[in-house]
Amino acid sequence: MPELPEVEVVRAGLEPAVSGALIVSVDVRDARALTRHTGTAEHFEAELTGRRISAAVRRGKFLWMPVGDDEAIVAHLGMSGQMLLRVPGAPEERHERIRVELENPVHGDLSLVFADQRTFGSLALDRLIDTPDAAPAGRGSPLSRVPTQVAHIARDPLDPAFDDARFRARLARTSSGIKRVLLDQTVASGIGNIYADESLWAARIHPETAASDLPTRSVNRLLAEIRAVLEKALAEGGTSFDAQYVNVNGQAGYFAHSLNAYGRTGQPCPRCGRPIVRVSFMNRSSHFCPRCQRMR
């Protein structure tokens, strides 16, 4: 699934196109793309037509576009969802599910296309509620209002309002393996399988080390490495292994060329030269160096 860097690349690409844009029309071409929307396709089209989008906002790997003070279009990209910007009248995209025609006061007419090969993603109109800490809900907006579908998701480590002390305290009372904790979106959002492996490799921590066994200095180092890995991935446009993970212009990211552990089974560790190993983990895989990342 796309993780924080991939979704942030999409958000940043959408921002100038959707901010201040009027929704001229909405065409739901496949109702399966509305699985998280509580109404019908006709309701979705009618409720959005004539509304104005104020911003493109992200928390972790969740993306939304406020339409007024109380509602937002929430985009769940799922396994293969794409948000693409096209000129009006552009040919239909492969796996296109929804097309939204926009009128931007600066950039003119644009088409926003939601395409999804595997149909696990969706768009939904959702209600906005206040954030408990009164801080901005996510990157892209100063407003402290978050969709109900995203409210349970923790802030991500790149969020200025992320609470390092709270993160350390949560780890201190959690006996689960540290990688399992990093993937828990209620602890810290946006860190998926790829970036968990890369961050743990950089911090020299074995993925199965109990979170509560990590001393404060190790947790601080891990947080620093998580942020460094995410920032580098952002700078390189995210990680793309196939044509499914692309930005709003359909271009792939190239952080895959910078990976040190994930997907490098049998290849030498860039730090010590010992082969990277792969083990099964939560219906997926963990990749790590058995020499650099020893169990405590």
- Point out the annotated binding site: 95, 118
Residues identified as active-site = 2-3, 61, 284
Encode the chain in three state secondary structure: CCCHHHHHHHHHHHHHHHCCCEEEEEEECCHHHHCCCCCCHHHHHHHHCCCEECCCEEECCEEEEEECCCEEEEEECCCCEEEEEECCCCCCCCCEEEEEEEEECCCEEEEEEEEECCCCCEEEEEEEEECCCCCCCEECECCCEEECCCCCCCCCCCCCCCCHHHHHHHHHCCCCEHHHHHCCCCCCCCCCHHHHHHHHHHHCCCCCCEHHHCCHHHHHHHHHHHHHHHHHHHHCCCCCCCCCCECCCCCECCHHHHCCCCCCCCCECCCCCCECEEEEECCEEEEECCCCCCCC
Return phi, psi of residue 113, to 5°: -110, 130
Please give the Cα distance from 244 to 2 (Å, whole number). 9
Please give the Cα distance from 99 to 240 (Å, whole number). 24
Looking at this protein, which amino acid is placed at residue 177?
Answer: G
Annotated binding site for DNA: 95, 118
